[in-house]
């Protein structure tokens, strides 16, 4: 069950780029989330496959894995969806919704989880470490 555990986090070959390689696209689950450990930080990666069905374009989103409502690192295990057109994840324990773009909580403005720009290059998932 740890099939891909060997693909450790690597700094992009250029050495200076802020883009950090996290894992392979195959590690992602279409329409859902997984967690990754990047430089000691827990990150939730959400994957919309862009299969031309529900989502036109392939997209990866990266949010902090910690759910502010519970303090537990569980965000990656939430359900994806949209609310009034905004793409969100519903945190699994108490079901608050967080914007995938901004990390803002729809139910409570004061909660804002960190987000990272994320992309897929050559079958690898990368996030911009800023």
Partner 1 sequence: MTTQPTHPDTHTQRQLVIIGNGMVGHHAAMSFLEACGEPTGWAIHIIGEETYSAYDRVHLSEYFQGKTHADLALGTLEQYNQLGIHTHLGVAARQIDRDGKTVVLADDTRLPYDALILATGSYPFVPPIPGHDLPSCLVYRTLDDLDAIRNAASDGSVGVVIGGGLLGLEAANALKSLGLDTHVIEFAPQLMPVQLDADAGTLLRDKIQALGVQVHVNTATQSITTDEQGRTVLTFADGEPLVTDVVVFSAGIRPQDALARDAGLTMGERGGVAINNQCQTSDPAIYAVGEVALWNNAIFGLVAPGYRMAETAAAHLAGGDAAFTGADMSTKLKLLGVDVGAIGDAHARSAGAVTYRYSNERSGVYRKLVTSADGSRLLGAILVGDNSLYDTLLQYYLNDITLPKEPDSLILPSSEGVPQLGVDALPDTATLCSCLNVTKGDVVSAIDAGCCSLGEVKTETRASSGCGGCAAMLKQVVDATLEARGVEVDHSLCEHFSYTRQELFHLVQVGQIKTFDALIREHGKGLGCDICKPTVASILASCWNEGVLEPAHVKLQDTNDTFLANMQKDGTYSVVPRIAGGEITADKLIVIGEVAKEYDLYTKITGGQRVDLFGAQLHQLPEIWKRLIDAGFETGQAYGKSVRTVKSCVGSTWCRYGQQDSVGMAILLENRYKGLRAPHKLKFAVSGCTRECAEAQSKDIGVIATEHGWNLYVCGNGGMKPRHADLFATDLDDVTLIKTIDRLLMFYIKTADRLQRTARWMENLEGGLDYLKDVILNDSLQMNAELEQQMARIVDSYQCEWKAVLDDPEKLKRFRTFVNSNSADSNVVFVKEREQIRPAREEEKARLIATA
Cα(78)–Cα(4) distance, integer angstroms: 22
Give the x-and-dash track for 100-129 against partner 1 (CB under 8 A).
------------------------------
Cα(65)–Cα(120) distance, integer angstroms: 19
**Which of 11, 79, 106, 120: binder of partner 1 (CB under 8 A)?**
79
Handedness of CA 11, 13, 19, 22 (dihedral sign): negative
Cα(56)–Cα(130) distance, integer angstroms: 28
Give the x-and-dash track for 46-65 against partner 1 (CB under 8 A).
-------xxx----------
Cα(90)–Cα(81) distance, integer angstroms: 8
**Which of 11, 12, 35, 120: binder of partner 1 (CB under 8 A)?**
35
Cα(84)–Cα(66) distance, integer angstroms: 24
Cβ atoms of 70 and 78 closer than 8 Å: no
Q: Is 34 in the site for partner 1 (CB under 8 A)?
A: yes
Q: Is 39 in the site for partner 1 (CB under 8 A)?
A: no
Cβ atoms of 60 and 120 closer than 8 Å: yes
Q: Is 12 in the site for partner 1 (CB under 8 A)?
A: no
Q: Is 41 in the site for partner 1 (CB under 8 A)?
A: no
Q: Is 1 in the site for partner 1 (CB under 8 A)?
A: yes
Nearer to partner 1, 5 or 130 (CB): 5
* Residues of this chain that bind partner 1 (CB under 8 A): 1-5, 7-9, 22-23, 27-32, 34-38, 42, 45, 53-55, 66, 70-74, 77-85, 87-88, 90, 92-93, 95, 97
């Amino acid at each position: 069950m740890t099939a891909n555990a060997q693909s450790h986090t690597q700094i992009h070959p250029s050495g200076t780029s802020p883009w950090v390689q996290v894992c392979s696209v195959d590690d992602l689950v279409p329409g859902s989330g997984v967690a990754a450990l990047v430089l000691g930080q827990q990150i939730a990666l959400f994957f919309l496959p862009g299969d031309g069905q529900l989502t036109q374009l392939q997209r990866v989103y990266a949010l902090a894995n910690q759910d502010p409502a519970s303090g537990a690192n569980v965000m990656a295990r939430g359900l994806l969806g949209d609310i009034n057109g905004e793409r969100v994840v519903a945190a699994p324990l108490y079901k608050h919704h967080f914007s995938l773009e901004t990390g803002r909580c729809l139910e409570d403005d004061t909660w804002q989880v960190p987000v990272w720009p994320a992309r897929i290059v050559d079958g690898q998932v990368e996030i911009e470490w800023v």
